[in-house]
């Protein structure tokens, strides 16, 4: 789908780049020539991946930041601009939740922490990169929502679903605000994806049950999520903005 240097000359910043979809996106962008700033709270993970991407000839580096802390996100973006000169692509992949919990039993702390990581963190990252993208009159923003935003599958969590639905609305409204600056803002909404985290959380029999509920009879691999993200981050999608692509195998 992409030639080996499809993103050569582009600078990408990826949050949640230490594992899962974020790591897979960062690796693929670097492999296609982009200079990647890998943002995560886990320094050892992103440092290792950044080192591998530098071996490919990119100027990639790790930036340790918690997306729920705006000053840390601002610092990561500023470091990107100072070291690499610009920021062309933002992929917001940081997110998740620790446990399922009915709303009747949910604490304020759980509700707030899930929204902070999954929605407010995306806002922090968008707000930090947009002035730079607007000044250069170019940008591609892709955020990772979830099929939980549009379904009621039982393995989710109401706070997580609300946050992921918020990403859909946030992306659509920011797209309207910045479209005239040649900036597109989109999202993908993955279904259950076979990351290491998902394999740890569920048994083989549970995963088989989830797979049976899809139209295609299987769960997504990481690359099934990566490729739509790369497409939206590419100039091939320059006339697509304010959209969310559901990547769930017809769940």
| Residues designated catalytic | 160
Q: Give the distance from CA 36 to its chain's centroid.
A: 14
Closest by Cα among 234, 148, 129, 230 to 193: 148
Q: Is 62 helix (H, G, I), strand (E, B) or coil?
A: strand
**Which residue carries 């290491």 as its tokens?**
196
* Strand-strand pairing, 35-40 and 61-64: parallel
Q: How far apart are CA 127 and CA 70, in angstroms?
A: 9
Cα-based torsion angle of the residue sequence 33, 129, 175, 119 in order, rounded to the nearest 10 degrees: 100
Structure tokens at 97: 């939740």
Contact (Cβ atoms closer than 8 angstroms) between residue 188 and residue 145: yes
90-to-40, 55, 171, 184 alpha-carbon distances in Å: 14, 22, 12, 10
Contact (Cβ atoms closer than 8 angstroms) between residue 214 and residue 155: no
């Amino acid at each position: 789908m992409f030639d080996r240097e499809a993103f050569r000359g582009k600078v990408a910043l990826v949050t949640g780049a230490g594992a899962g979809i974020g790591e897979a996106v960062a690796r693929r962008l670097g492999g296609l020539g982009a200079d990647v700033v890998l943002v995560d709270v886990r320094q050892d993970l992103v440092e290792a991946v950044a080192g591998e991407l530098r071996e490919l000839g990119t100027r990639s580096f790790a930036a340790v930041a918690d997306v729920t802390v705006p000053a840390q996100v601002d610092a990561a973006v500023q470091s990107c601009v100072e070291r690499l000169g610009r920021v062309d692509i933002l992929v917001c992949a940081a997110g998740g939740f620790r446990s399922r919990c009915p709303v009747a039993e949910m604490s304020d702390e759980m509700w707030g922490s899930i929204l902070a990581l999954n929605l407010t963190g995306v806002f922090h990252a968008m707000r930090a990169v947009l002035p730079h993208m607007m000044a250069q009159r170019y940008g591609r923003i892709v955020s990772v929502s979830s099929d939980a935003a549009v379904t009621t599958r039982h393995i989710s969590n109401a706070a997580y679903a609300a946050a992921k639905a918020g990403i859909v609305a946030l992306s659509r409204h920011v797209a309207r605000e910045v479209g005239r600056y040649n900036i597109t803002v989109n999202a993908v909404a993955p279904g259950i994806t076979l990351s290491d985290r998902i394999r740890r959380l569920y048994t083989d029999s549970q995963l088989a049950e989830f797979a049976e509920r899809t139209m295609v009879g299987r769960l997504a691999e990481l690359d099934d999520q990566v490729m739509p993200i790369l497409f939206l981050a590419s100039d091939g999608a320059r006339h697509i903005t304010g959209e969310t692509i559901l990547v769930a195998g017809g769940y």
